[in-house]
């Protein structure tokens, strides 16, 4: 499966995303985690501790939606289960991107529980937001060494809000997703723009 056309196409897109996001400073020190759907039962996901600026097909594992490695010689990172729970939840989901920008990390520590995002035109890039004035309340989950418990909370949030397109983990960064790698990348950009604006606004209000 790790030589299939779908695998090669998806990991090429994820590698390009890694170079782009790293260049923006959103993936320091081998942080972050990417994945893309290959079929109804399998995803390609980054192997642990990879520098995202230099990804190629050898830096990805294929795992099934039970967490078993189908192709690759390493154990997947614990965060892989967070990706899996999202693919299980939404059959239309095609890619998940997890980044560690300064702004996302700072806001995730300052606003435990929820980060309100209002009156940004870029909110229209996210599903279900027709009126930017109403905006969205982005969930902020406390980091938890028990990834399965964290995944259960994420699954519950996705059930409550079918249009949810992202969340923060305290001190840990952003998760966002979409039907394709390209769409997930657009959502990273939208969220990061708002995070930078929020950080600057809080600094100016002091």
**Residue in the structure block whose two tokens are 């560690």:** 100
The per-residue pLDDT for 2 is 66
Q: What is the pLDDT of residue 8?
A: 95
The pLDDT tens digits for 137-153 are 999 999 998 998 999 99
pLDDT of residue 1: 62
Q: Could you report the per-residue pLDDT of 62-83, keeping only the tens digit for each? A: 999 999 999 888 899 999 999 9
pLDDT of 15 = 97
Query: What is the residue-averaged pLDDT of the chain?
Result: 94
Q: Provide mean pLDDT across the span 154-166.
A: 92
Query: Is the pLDDT reported for residue 205 higher than 90?
Result: no
């Amino acid at each position: 499966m790790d030589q299939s056309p779908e695998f090669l196409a998806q990991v090429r897109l994820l590698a390009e995303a890694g170079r782009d996001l790293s260049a923006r400073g959103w993936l320091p020190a081998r942080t972050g985690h990417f994945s893309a759907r290959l079929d109804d039962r399998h995803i390609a996901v980054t192997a642990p501790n990879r520098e995202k600026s230099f990804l190629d097909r050898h830096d990805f594992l294929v795992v099934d939606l039970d967490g078993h490695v189908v192709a690759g010689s390493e154990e997947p990172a614990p965060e892989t289960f967070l990706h899996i729970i999202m693919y299980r939840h939404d059959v239309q989901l095609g890619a998940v991107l997890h980044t560690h920008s300064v702004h996302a990390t700072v806001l995730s520590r300052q606003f435990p529980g929820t980060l309100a995002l209002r009156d940004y035109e870029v909110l229209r890039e996210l599903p279900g937001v027709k009126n930017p004035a109403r905006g969205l309340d982005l969930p902020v989950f406390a980091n938890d060494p028990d990834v399965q418990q964290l995944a259960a909370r994420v699954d519950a949030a996705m059930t409550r809000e079918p249009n949810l397109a992202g969340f923060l983990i305290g001190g840990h960064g952003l998760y966002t997703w979409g039907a394709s790698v390209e769409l997930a990348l657009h959502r990273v950009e939208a969220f990061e723009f708002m995070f930078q604006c929020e950080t600057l606004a809080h600094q100016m209000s002091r």
